Structure 1
Amino acid sequence: MSSPEKIIHTYHCICTQLVLATTTPLSTLKPRTSDSSLILPLPDLSATTNHYALLTNTTLDTAPTIIRLEDGFEKRYFHKCNRCDLSVGYSLDKSQSEDGKGMKGEVVFLLQGGLVGTENMKAAKDMEGEIGRVGVKG
């Protein structure tokens, strides 16, 4: 018996580099209370799951960045776009995360404003043609 097909949602860095493919739309992810980043679980691909997500064309910092919070400090390992070096998300040190997950690929916190859905990016490119045809009076 075959499983139902999943819709794969793709997201790009604001520089247009593809950085995320997932079966879960970002609009359905819960925000983290401390900074409103979106909590994206990265599933164990060897297990049976209904959710898949893959970060691509990103580099994970090897050294943490220490962030000062109201209630203390946090070690964040930023995921940066390979093309423009923009931080699109971060993972936590296991000792810092609320539930013991984070650094080893179980969860990525996606930063607000760094990602654009493929459909939105295509729509913006389509508008460039319209803008060019109408012209700008100067």
Structure 2
Amino acid sequence: MPKIISNSIISSSDNREEAQGLHSYYCLCSEFILVIDIELGQLPRRETDNAVIIENASRMYKLHAIPGEVKIVRRSDEFEKQYRLYCPRCSLLIAYETTPHLKGGPYTYIVQGAINEIQGVPHNDWELELPGKQDRIDQDQGEEDSHDDNNEMRLRMEGNQDAAAKARALLAAAAGES
């Protein structure tokens, strides 16, 4: 067999400050949900509900979620139409957009604490309070039950926090047994 000689030079002049590679994220039920070119912790958060903002024009990502209901959410004196995306396995609310087509608008919003980099472990984000949560609680005490979408989101968030706490307790108990 003839000998192959190569005089190629490999050079890397890429001076990006971002970490290279892809980052995978999973639902609380361990279902694969998202692969993206940046850590979610480096992305900005929305002031209204602390959701992670993915700018569709500048980010490369694949979101594995199924479309669900369309909700109109009241934000102070405005209304926002949300096209919600759910986990295909457990139907947990994962993300939402403001246009009917995935990546069709300028942003995709990942719900606070819905996904984690470590499969099967709830994210610590569930224990962070939403912006203005105490203000909403104070307002709700003065009003009758209005059944609006803000109440629904708050109740879902609290239920998800309880589920995350139970999952942590089960993981801690399993780690203690082995």
Asked if these proteins are the same fold (TM beyond 0.5), I'd say yes
Whether 2:71 is the aligned partner of 1:65: answer: yes
- Partner letter of residue 109 of structure 1? Y
Matched residue, 1:17:
31
- Partner letter of residue 53 of structure 1? Y
Whether 2:60 is the aligned partner of 1:52: answer: yes
Please say if residues 96 and 110 of structure 2, whose CA atoms lie closer than 8 Å, have aligned partners that are also in contact. yes
Q: Percent identity?
A: 24
Q: How many angstroms does 1:42 deviate by?
A: 3.0
- Partner letter of residue 51 of structure 2? S
Please say if residues 23 and 39 of structure 2, whose CA atoms lie closer than 8 Å, have aligned partners that are also in contact. yes
Please say if residues 12 and 18 of structure 1, whose CA atoms lie closer than 8 Å, have aligned partners that are also in contact. yes
Matched residue, 1:91:
97
Count of paired positions: 117
Greater strand share, structure number = 1
Please say if residues 87 and 93 of structure 2, whose CA atoms lie closer than 8 Å, have aligned partners that are also in contact. yes
Equivalent position SS for 1:118:
coil
- Partner letter of residue 110 of structure 1? I
Distance of 2:11 and 2:70 partners within structure 1 = 43
Q: How many angstroms does 1:109 deviate by?
A: 0.3
Where in structure 2 are the equivalents of 1:1-138 lying within 5 Å? 6-43=20-57, 51-56=59-64, 58-61=65-68, 63-93=69-99, 104=104, 106-118=106-118, 121=121, 130-133=175-178
- Partner letter of residue 14 of structure 1? L
Structure 2 residue runs of 5 or longer lacking an equivalent are: 1-9, 122-167
**Cα RMSD (Å):** 3.2
Q: Deviation string for 1:88-134 (max 9, x for gaps)? A: 1100138xxxxxxx86154210111211113784xx8986653222x
Equivalent position SS for 1:35:
coil
The TM-score with structure 2 as length reference comes to: 0.55
Matched residue, 2:139:
none
Greater helix share, structure number = 2
The TM-score with structure 1 as length reference comes to: 0.69
Which portions of structure 1, spanning 4 or more consecutive aligned residues, are displaced by more than 2 angstroms? 1-6, 118-121, 124-130
Q: Which has the higher contact order (CA 8 A, sep 6+)?
A: 1
Please say if residues 98 and 105 of structure 2, whose CA atoms lie closer than 8 Å, have aligned partners that are also in contact. no
